[in-house]
Amino acid sequence: MVILGRLFYLEVIASERLQKKAIDQWTRELPLKASRGKILSSNGTALATNKSSYAVYIRTRQVKNPERVASVLSQIFGVDEQKLLDKMRKKATSEITVKRQVDKESIVKLTNYQLDGVYYSVDNTRLYPYNQLLCSVLGYSSIDGGGQTGLELYYDKYLKGVDGEVLYESDLTGQDIKDKTPSYTPAVNGLNVVTTIDIGIQQVVEAALEKAYKTYTPKGCSAVVLDPQTGRVLAMANLPSFDLNAPPRNDIATLNALSRNTLVVDCYEPGSTFKVVTALANVNQALKGDKSAKSLDYIYSSNRYRELAGGRIKCWSDHKNGKHSNQTLALALNNSCNPCFTDIALSLGTKTFYSYITALGFGKKTGIDFPGEASGVIIPENSVKIGDLARIGFGQSVSVTPIQLAAAVSAAVNGGNYYKPYIVDKITTEDGRLVESFSPTLKGQVATIKASAILAGYLEDVVTSGSGKNAYIEGYKIGGKTGTAQKFVDGKIAQGKYVMSFVGFMPSNKPEYLCLVIVDEPVGGNYGSTVAAPVAGQIFKGIIDLKDIELII
């Protein structure tokens, strides 16, 4: 029974492990690296691809002259001669990887020496044709071909492929057995990832950000362009950036900082751009007949202050001849008047206002296909105090991610439909056959078509004659909202530090493009209206020229 039990263990339970161990003992393999799949723009332009390279190996038991091998390889590949010699003298080491991603010229030099025990095989080196373009979105891969950040990491299971190998039968000493035909297992190349990125719009966005970065030398600036009717990300960029073909791997702190896609993984206080959310809630509730909402023709008080427990809320500026004027919601948006939005938030009440905040995706991840997405920070509904609610109404006491805000404003102006933002459209084989596709995901209707249209009209006035006029382009319907938010450091307002932003869309009567621009701590700029709005205007102008969009009005 003991013998039978042992046989059963060896033949059944441990058979697979023992077979692998036996094959490893009587064979030597030469790895064949799979070609990593490409990352493509929406029109098929390669954003991440590969260039041919080679990997060099040593089979120590087949080396006849270790000193000569170490010397030659050191000269050709710049490796440490003594360390290589020490590795070859360790009998326990059967195979040594000398160098990966070697160019063809070096391999030609190697073959001239005909060194016993030295082999090479095809490898791949990742190549990014546009260098810095989309660097924080595409991410990068390791020297072994595994995705480390960005889309390279998120879609690694599709991109990486399956390595192959050539197996040579060998004797007890590790020498190849003559007249034995090697066994060949081909590599299976990775799949291609086709993104929603419009390469032309991406270049327009990065050019506009580069200009702003040179003008205001900010801590950073970023922008995202969405198709508000589907949630497709058409462009996404962050500055400062780095060359994906030469990432600063020797400075991990710098590399990590430059690799952050702040539009997805970081939070900020949105300031007045959040007033779009407050305005939508009020307009939609007013059309429903909710008496807690302010009517659309309601005239807000001329008092430029609101006194609340916890402090005074005031308007950023007097609007007319040194005196704060009475105004409608449309004018309040034009003038970006904080007290008016305080009135709206308090009038709607916590339950109703929070229902819109939740429906518009704040306080939770959007689900965008990108690693490390943040959730933002919303005070729990059961913990909100009057002062908190009042400040949330105009974009304080709330922390959001830029992609959350872009998705929410898209829903506010596209007819009330909230779509999950996404970056990848489909997965294909090398020859273009479809493997998997990703469609727009409607997560809910947050407002009526009428409410959305009314709000879009208000926001068009903001660009035509209000605080967003620096994004205005004559002959085109553009809507938007500016934002200037103070920054907090260690829980306190950091004097002189601001995040300036603008969120806009075009055409305002049926949005096809939505753009959010954020400039962090600009030097010499005072407001989102003077810093971020012109950048958005430049982006919209670039899109108009690129797509040859005809005059609308």
Active-site annotation, residues: 272
- In angstroms, rounded to a whole number, what is the distance separating the alpha carbons of residues 56 and 120? 4
Tokens (6 digits) for 309:
């427990």
Name the burial class of residue 424, with classes exposed (0-12), middle (13-18) and buried (19+) by CB atoms within 10 angstroms of its CB.
buried
- Give CA–CA dist 60/81, Å, rounded: 15
Q: Give 407-471 as a DSSP string.
A: HHHHHHHTTSEEE--BSEEEEE-TT--EEEE----EEEE-S-HHHHHHHHHHHHHHHHHSTTGGG
Strand partners, 484: 500
- Calculate the alpha carbon distances from 403 to 174, 313, 531 in Å: 57, 28, 20
The answer to whether 221 and 515 are in contact (CB under 8 A) is: no
- List the beta strands (DSSP E) in 228-278: 232-239
Report which of 88, 98, 82 is spatially closest to residue 60, judged by C-alpha positions. 88
Contact 361, 408 (CB under 8 A): yes
Whether the CB-CB separation of 473 and 376 falls below 8 Å is answered with no
